[in-house]
Amino acid sequence: MAKRITKHQNFELPNLGEEISFTFNGKRIKAFAGDSITSALIASGSTLLSRSFKYHRPRGAYDVFGQGHESLVMVNHEPNMLADRIQVQNGMVVKSQNVWPSVEFDLGEVNDLIVPMLPNGFYYKMFHKPKWLWPIAEHQIRKVAGLGKIDVAGTHVHRRYEKHYRFPDVCVVGGGPSGLAAAKGALDEGKQVLLIDDNPQLGGHSLHSIFPVNNCENKSLNGIPENQAVQKLIKELAQNPNLEVMVNTSVFGLYEDNLVAAQSGPDLFKIRAESVVLAPGATDRHLVFENNDRPGILTARGVEKLIMCHAVLPGEDTVVVTTHDGGFHTALLLKGAGANVVAVVDGRESGSAGEFEEQVRNLAVPVYKGLTVHAAHGKKRIKRIDIGPISGGDSHKSFDCDLLVMAVGFKPQVNLLSMGRKRPEWDSERQILRVTDLPSGMYSTGEVHGSAGFARLFSEGIKTGKAAAKKKSVESSKRSEDELIMALPADIESGGKNHFICKCMDVTRFEAQASIEEGYDQVESLKRYSSMGMGPCQGKACHEAVARLAAKDTGLSSLDAVPTTMRPPFSGVSFGVLAGRAPHLSPIRRTPLHQCHIDLGVKFLDAGQWKRPDSYIDPQIEVGYVRNGLGMIDVSTLGKIEISGPDAIDFLQFMLPGKYGKFEVGRTRYSIMVGEDGILFEDGTISHLEQGKYYLTTTTGNQDAINSLFQWWLLVEDFDVQVKNLSLANAAVNVTGAESREFLQKLVKIDLSNEAFPYMHCRQTSISGVPVSFYRIGFTGELGYEIHFPAEYGESMWNHLMTEGEGFALNPFGVETQRILRLEKGHLIPGTDSDALSSPYETGVGFAIKDDKADFVGKAFLQDFKKRGIENKLVPYQLEPDDPIPDDGVAVLEKGKIAGRVTSSRLSPTLKRGIGLAWIRNEMAETGNNFTIRLANGSDVVATVLDHSAYDPEGLRLKS
Amino acid sequence: MLKTSPLSGIYRNHSVKLTEVSGWQIAENFGNQERESEHLKNDSVLIDWSHIGKISLSGGDAPKAAEQVFKGTSKLEPLKTLAKQDMAVLCLTRNDYLILCQPGMETKLLEIIDPKITTVTDQTGSQGCIVLGGPRRDEVLLRSTAVDLRRDKVVAGSVLQSSIHTVSMTLYRTKNLDIMLHPRNLSESLYDALMDVGIGLGLVPGGIATVPVSFEEGK
């Protein structure tokens, strides 16, 4: 029976702080402030923390460091929290996950009986016939799979995800003795050091070690136990102002150029370091044997931590299974805490006894050599274990016990050293998987290269820290013979079918062998088929066992034992941490008139990053404002580029397919742009403002691209031209409608009459002292003036125009309204009505190309397009009144086959019928022809091809 | 007509006291100047300097044009600056300069610079300008950019083209301020993101009465 201890024979117990309480599955648990959830639960006698993923087998604490899945619980409505790492708080609500009705009695445990009777990988093979069965089965499988339940609605969980950046000279990952020494080494070189550890306290395994420190190069640490030495070292480092320490912080990924990704609670840290030292240490090796997943089986370092850091004795009658003196160290700590150590089972046949073995033997604890554990018995808690030869076979002896301590060597935490770059390799001498070849600027030290004493870890850590600070190479780690720990066979083959290789995913050796027999005989395919190593711990616990057993069962030597690729994330990361918060990643572009639109109760439209007015009331009504009176739209998002200089006209001739030789001051022209491939990608207007000064407008989406394109051509061609991107410097509105002239004439001194300022002309003037330029163009199909002015006057100008326009019933309209207006007029929008294959001739803008001029961008391809002729054509069309309106993008059919597509489609409030633009085959494109549009609901509607626009085909209104 | 800051939408959410400077309507304070001064002393403050004059010189003989307004600037190395009380000249590349000046002063400077020798663009209205002041402003920046802006790396008097909260900008660092010049249309987003990370770091918005426009402390 587990219990809290109040004294220990070998060291002074820590102060656990004030007494508090929390609930676990509704039951009140007493704890101390210094407890983790796991330690408090064990102390209270709670054996079961969770149930396994597939078979719902009972699971209790195992390694106590949060490496495995066993301690995943729901804390205050947040799922998948590691009970091993979370410090208890008064009033905390902790629950087991995926159990029903309770963790003690879980109906899901029926899987433990049924699933073994099903064929291996049954979910790949069953439920596929009849066809309708799989969706149902998949739904059910998905329902029972997964761990925990996220509070999607955010009813209980309110998290603020923060993103931080750090730029240390040296980043040390791991705060055990090696990491601390590495930090010291780098600090001694005067570097800024960031030291990260995923536990609440620095010190690593030394915090719970009473091994005496000897022969350490830091003389002041000699002669005292490791737990005191490491505390002394921590105190010394804490005084250094160049050190930043982050505890409770998990490094989950390492990327190019020493980018270290770490999370601490809801905070993401992106750390870019000059050098990175990895000192992740090692954990107790995972041994596979019959019922190796039962509650009551704990790792040696886990038990030591419970005793020394939390004053908890996790069991009464104890058996320690070991292969090194560390197991005897644990046995001594258990004995000192008052446990009945029934036996120490040492897999080693011979060899000199270590310091702690002698002490344990002196306490009359029975020691069995050359043997190991064969099987555990008991369901919700072990009651008995069998021991026998390490080669398996028959068991020799059984012991009644409630705690089995596993001290069968250490498994280096190589994941961070590997991270998709290099797979670990089996080191036959050290009997571990290692990664020795790291990218430049990355270093490793400590138990990740094999178990060693404090003095060696310290000295190698110091050397590595100094090398990292100087960016020099460091000599490879060394281990003496007495530091090497033999590796037991990964599976003790003693019979039975419950030898769990991967406890997260409930995969047994039996299943792995069956998968290999089915042909999945490569470690990668075996992993994918059986799902070994794909659970919450991502192979941290089992990758070594998986590699070794896969090698063995496929007839390979231990040297060929290669684990599957280890990739980030090394530890669980929530999507919230990765995503952060919206303002940081999705900037919103606002026009200078943004606030004015808000004041008018606008509905915004997202156009890329821009917020544009979609409409203020109903677009169908807004169309009426423009057609019958006066409307105004914010067109500030247009690209605006000023081109001037001696070669300006030559540059335009080269960049644009039109002719500009006779382009007089005060004129405006429609222009298209094509790429070097002749494909249409842009249209806009170009105006000759002053002698030698031109003003080009582009669509919203292309403003930066066109400016960059101009700048690029100016680098490669010899034009004496100045190009100014005024897209942000100028705001713009389009005032349009039959009354626009009369309205604007009141505000400016220039003559706006049709004779003085005709269609497709431009003028410069001022409104209330603000310099403005007027462009008489007609995207809406009505008389209209585009007015450009300095952006800083945006709000004032809009408000001024709205106020002055009151007598004319001036109304604002939005982009959706403009789309209807332009469609009534049959105007295309490049990118919406054209795509990356659209020839300008087929799109209907061939009139803007003058290919009889000297070389210009896209000329060769345009001539080729012209020769090829028209295959498909973009045409305006209309529907019959009351016909349903097709969605944008639906198909055009000819004899039941797809013959084109609709690019834009709207209901025209002016014409009271559907109108649009569609790509159809040229043979179908004759004016008056009918073609079929297939609606999204599967029904058809007949459209008629129009010659020109549906509204004012002669353009009388806009030229009036 | 008044010129409005790109942060005018933000002003509406605060009890801002507005003032008029060279035709600009700009925040004198955000309702409590004493508090802003306290934060400037102990924590961090975000100030809207959008109204300062900004002129870019690009291509041609930009160094010669820069020299026309501020002697010595033609010899500036890229990413270095020269400043006096009413003006700072930032050398972005060997042939690109950005001139910052007191509000309204840009009109006079535009008359001095010969537009025939370089492309001169008045960026006053197209660029927003947010300034961070106070001892904890480094912490705000540490949560805002993946660029190493440690003070021993980017010293006072430096200028760099960088990205903060994914907004591309020109960052000019003086001894006591970090001046961020950025596209006007992203001003409000940048403000939101900075204030968002500034929670817990004592970041408050402030007006020009708390940090008046001055470029004097260049180094």
pLDDT at A778 over 90: no
Q: Which of A178, A179, A183, A204 is nearest to A193 (CA)?
A: A183
- Helix-then-strand count for chain B, H and E: 6, 14
Q: Assign A328 a pLDDT band (cuts: 50, 70, 90).
A: very high
Contacting residues of B for A701, CB less than 8 Å apart: none
Read off the pLDDT of each residue in A451-458 and give the average, rounded to a whole number: 96
Judge whether A784 and A776 are in contact, CB under 8 Å: yes
Give the A window 606-665 contacts with B, CB below 8 Å: 610
Contacting residues of A for B189, CB less than 8 Å apart: 583, 587-590
Which positions ≥6 away from A413 have C-beta within 8 Å? A280, A281, A282, A283, A448, A540
- Helix-then-strand count for chain A, H and E: 25, 51
Average pLDDT, chain A: 94
| B167 → chain A, closest CA residue | A587
Which positions ≥6 away from A154 have C-beta within 8 Å? none
Among A174-183, A552-561, A685-694, A832-841, name the one with the lowest average pLDDT: A552-561
Alpha carbon distance A912, A768 (integer Å): 41
Global confidence as pTM:
0.81
Read off the pLDDT of each residue in A514-533 and give the average, rounded to a whole number: 91
What's the alpha-carbon Rg for chain A, to the nearest Å? 38
Read off the pLDDT of each residue in A820-840 and give the average, rounded to a whole number: 94
Dump pLDDT digits (tens) for A655-691: 999 999 899 999 999 999 999 999 999 999 999 999 9
Q: Does A66 touch chain B (CB under 8 A)?
A: no
| A711 → chain B, closest CA residue | B59
Contacting A with CB below 8 Å, chain B residues are 1-4, 6, 8-9, 12, 24, 59-60, 119, 121-127, 142-146, 148, 150, 153, 165-167, 183-190, 192-193, 196-197
**Nearest CB partner across the interface for B143, out of A162, A793, A796:** A162
Hey, which residues does A388 pair with through a beta bridge? A372
Residue whose structure tokens are 């089996």: A426
Inter-chain contact B165–A791, Cβ cutoff 8 Å? Answer: no
Per-residue tokens: B161: 């083209």
Inter-chain contact A584–B183, Cβ cutoff 8 Å? Answer: no
Alpha carbon distance A233, B48 (integer Å): 48
**Nearest CB partner across the interface for B165, out of A587, A722, A792:** A587
Distance from CA of A896 to the nearest CA of B (A): 49
Which positions ≥6 away from A807 have C-beta within 8 Å? none
Full DSSP string of A550-590: HHHHTT--GGG--PPPP-S-SS---HHHHH--HHHH---B-
Distance from CA of B77 to the nearest CA of A (A): 23
Q: Among positive and negative, which fits the CA dihedral A709, A714, A717, A722?
A: positive
Q: Where are the alpha helices (DSSP H) in A222-263?
A: 226-238
Contacting residues of A for B145, CB less than 8 Å apart: 165
Read off the pLDDT of each residue in A751-765 and give the average, rounded to a whole number: 97
Read off the pLDDT of each residue in A400-428 and give the average, rounded to a whole number: 93
Q: Where are the alpha helices (DSSP H) in A375-520?
A: 415-418, 454-470, 509-517
Alpha carbon distance A13, A6 (integer Å): 7
Contacting residues of A for B125, CB less than 8 Å apart: 592, 728-729, 790-793
Hey, which residues does A693 pair with through a beta bridge? A644, A690
| A593 → chain B, closest CA residue | B6
Judge whether A98 and A58 are in contact, CB under 8 Å: no
Contacting residues of B for A610, CB less than 8 Å apart: 185
Residue whose structure tokens are 């990895």: A278
Dump pLDDT digits (tens) for A569-588: 998 898 889 988 777 778 99
Among A100-109, A345-354, A396-405, name the one with the lowest average pLDDT: A345-354
Delineate the domains of chain B, giving CATH numbers in brackets.
3-51+125-206 (3.30.1360.120), 53-122 (3.30.70.1400)
| B193 → chain A, closest CA residue | A583
Read off the pLDDT of each residue in A405-430 and give the average, rounded to a whole number: 93
Would you state the pLDDT for residue B218?
44
Among A371-380, A392-401, A508-517, A554-563, name the one with the lowest average pLDDT: A554-563
Amino acid letter, residue A900: G
Report residue A592 CA to chain centroid gap.
34
| A259 → chain B, closest CA residue | B146
Would you state the pLDDT for residue A486?
93
Long-range contacts of A705-709 (CB under 8 A, 24+ apart): A706/A639, A706/A641, A706/A673, A706/A682, A707/A639, A707/A641, A709/A655
Residue B38 — φ and ψ, nearest 5°? -65, -45
Alpha carbon distance A859, A785 (integer Å): 33
Residue A506 — φ and ψ, nearest 5°? 55, 50
Alpha carbon distance B36, A960 (integer Å): 58
Dump pLDDT digits (tens) for A259-300: 999 999 999 999 999 999 999 999 999 999 999 999 999 999
- Number of C-beta neighbours around residue A391 at 10 A: 11
Dump pLDDT digits (tens) for A24-54: 999 999 999 999 999 999 999 999 999 998 8
Inter-chain contact B9–A791, Cβ cutoff 8 Å? Answer: no
Would you state the pLDDT for residue B217?
60
Highest mean pLDDT among A107-116, A364-373, A411-420: A364-373
What residue ranges of chain B have pLDDT lower than 50?
218-219
Among A453-462, A543-552, A814-823, name the one with the lowest average pLDDT: A543-552
Inter-chain contact B9–A594, Cβ cutoff 8 Å? Answer: yes
Report which of residues A829 and A350 the model is more confident about. A829
Q: Which of A396, A372, A383 is nearest to A297 (CA)?
A: A383
Delineate the domains of chain A, giving CATH numbers in brackets.
3-144 (3.10.20.440), 162-283+412-483 (3.50.50.60), 490-586 (1.10.10), 593-638+729-827 (3.30.1360.120), 639-726 (3.30.70.1400), 868-960 (2.40.30.110)
Alpha carbon distance B210, B27 (integer Å): 10
Contacting residues of A for B146, CB less than 8 Å apart: 165, 270, 272
Nearest-5° angle of CA A30, CA A31, CA A32? 145
Amino acid letter, residue A95: K
Inter-chain contact A588–B197, Cβ cutoff 8 Å? Answer: no
pLDDT at A114 over 90: no
Inter-chain contact B196–A800, Cβ cutoff 8 Å? Answer: no
